[in-house]
Amino acid sequence: MASQDPRKNGVARPGALHARSRKRRAAHSPETARLLSRVRSCEEGRALLADKPALDRETCDLRDLLRLPRGTFGREYAEWMRANGFDPDAGHPPLDPVADPDARYVCERMVQVHDLWHVLTGYNCDEDGERGLLAFSLGQTGSREVAAQLQNVVRDEIRFAWRTGDPEWRHLLGYLWHAWRRGRRARLLVAVPLEDYLSLPLDSVRQRLEIDPVDQAYSGHSLPPISVPA
């Protein structure tokens, strides 16, 4: 693909798409209503809506998570967040005060789980990794807004290739399709209490959530999955 690997010492520098990907969806939209219906359809999701736990700086204290054994979900997440200079509370816009509380919570949850999904899926926070996570998210949610974002990605990549003759664009559709399929195959992650899984081995969590092996994340792409320096 057109963008080059921006990583240094195994860590990807966040691209502009990272911030856009964490934008909260509208609580009153039909898409949110459909996603909320899916969350309510499973026992785990109903329990999550009843308790409405937050995934924020308090519940995901990076200092505490860094004390967990290496290889656990929480430790790997904290290492990745620290390596990229991220804060669990950063970039959260105000909530809609008049929206249905469950719809509002699902919208907030989608923002809060974004960086956890990076670690679970193996897609990094550079531009190409965000493209992969967008396609994974489309497989999870069926969001038309996400589909429109991906359409823009493909359009821009083809325009870049047309101007420069870069051949990497040929890998893009296969890469995005593979990421979408990984999202379709996995459990509905927004309905899962991920905070309860932080102390478990990351590989075990991926298996429980039915996420295809992380070494397949960049299938058809020249970049490897994310890694956290020791």
Q: Which of 6-20, 64-78, 209-223 has the lowest mean pLDDT?
A: 6-20
- CA–CA gap between residue 228 and residue 230 (Å, rounded): 6
Domain-located, residue 8: no
Strands (E), the chain: none
Note the pTM of the prediction, 2 decimals.
Answer: 0.82
Closest to 1 (Cα-Cα) out of 146, 157, 204: 157
> Mean pLDDT, to the nearest integer, of 17-45?
79
Note the pLDDT of residue 174.
Answer: 84
- Residue 123 sits at φ, ψ, to 5 deg, of -85, 130
Domain-located, residue 140: yes
Rounded CA Rg of the chain: 17
Domain-located, residue 93: yes
Average pLDDT value for the chain: 82
> Mean pLDDT, to the nearest integer, of 202-213?
96
Domain-located, residue 4: no
pLDDT at 206 over 60: yes
Higher pLDDT, 45 or 229: 45
Closest to 85 (Cα-Cα) out of 149, 12, 161: 12
Note down the domain range covering 189.
Answer: 16-216
> Mean pLDDT, to the nearest integer, of 192-200?
96
How many domains is the chain partitioned into structurally? Answer: 1
Domain-located, residue 61: yes
Domain-located, residue 226: no
pLDDT at 228 over 50: no
How does residue 29 score in pLDDT terms, banded at 50, 70 and 90? confident
Closest to 5 (Cα-Cα) out of 217, 223, 193: 223
10: β partners = none
* Highest mean pLDDT: which range of 20-29, 77-86, 153-162: 77-86
Each residue's pLDDT tens digit, 1-19: 433 333 333 344 555 555 5
Domain-located, residue 223: no
Note the pLDDT of residue 171.
Answer: 76
Domain-located, residue 5: no
